Amino acid sequence: MLMLNDLTVRDGQQSLLATRMRTGDIIKIVSILDNAGYYAMEVWGGATFDAPLRYLKEDPWDRLRAIREVVTKTKLMMLLRGKNLVGYRHYPEDVITAFIEKAYENGIDIFRVFDALNDPNNLVYPIKVIKSLSKAVRNSGALLQIAIVYSISPVHTIEYYEKTVEEFVSLFEPDFITIKDMAGILTPGMAVELVKMIKKQGVKVNVHSHATSGMAPMTLIKAAEAGADLLDVVLSPLSHFSSHPAAEPMVEALRSLGLDPEINEKVLYRASKVLEGIKAKYSKYDYSKRGKVVDINVLNHQIPGGMISNLLAQLRDLKAEDKLEEVLEEVQRVRKDLGWPPLVTPMSQIVGSQAVVNVLSGRYKILLNETVNYLLGKYGRPPAPVNEELKRRAEEMARNAPKEAMGAKTLEDARRELSKVYVEKDEDYITYALFPEQALKFFEERYKKKLAKAVGLGWF
Interface residue list for Co ion (CB under 5 A): 11
Least distance CB 342 / Co ion (angstroms): 13
Least distance CB 176 / Co ion (angstroms): 15
Name which of 213, 111, 201 is nearest 152 in CA terms. Answer: 213
C-alpha 340/C-alpha 329 separation (Å) is 14
Strands, DSSP E only, in 217-273?
A: 230-233
Least distance CB 117 / Co ion (angstroms): 17
Strands, DSSP E only, in 70-175?
A: 75-80, 110-114, 143-149
Which residues neighbour 441 within 8 Å (Cβ) at sequence distance 6 or greater?
Answer: none
Name which of 306, 311, 435, 213 is nearest 18 in CA terms. Answer: 306
CA dihedral 169, 175, 179, 183 (to 10 degrees): -120
| Terminal CA-CA length for the chain | 58
Least distance CB 11 / Co ion (angstroms): 4
Task: Please say whether the beta carbons of 57 and 445 come within 8 A.
Answer: yes
Least distance CB 9 / Co ion (angstroms): 13
| Nearer CB in complex with Co ion: 150/432 | 150
| Nearer CB in complex with Co ion: 11/286 | 11
Least distance CB 310 / Co ion (angstroms): 16
In the three-class reduction of DSSP (H, G, I as helix; E, B as strand; rest coil), residue 176 is classed as strand
What separation in angstroms does the CA of 348 have from each of 26, 70, 170, 332, 353? Answer: 29, 37, 29, 11, 8
Which residues neighbour 147 within 8 Å (Cβ) at sequence distance 6 or greater?
Answer: 79, 112, 113, 114, 177, 178, 179, 180, 208
Q: Residue 204: what are its φ and ψ, rounded to 5°? A: -75, 145
Task: Please say whether the beta carbons of 294 and 245 come within 8 A.
Answer: no
C-alpha 126/C-alpha 80 separation (Å) is 9
- Residue least distant from Co ion (Cβ): 11
Least distance CB 15 / Co ion (angstroms): 7
Least distance CB 210 / Co ion (angstroms): 6
C-alpha 390/C-alpha 231 separation (Å) is 41
Give the sign of the dihedral formed by CA 231, CA 234, CA 240, CA 243.
negative
Least distance CB 13 / Co ion (angstroms): 12
- Amino acid at residue number 332: Q
Which residues neighbour 139 within 8 Å (Cβ) at sequence distance 6 or greater?
Answer: none
| Nearer CB in complex with Co ion: 206/431 | 206
Least distance CB 216 / Co ion (angstroms): 11
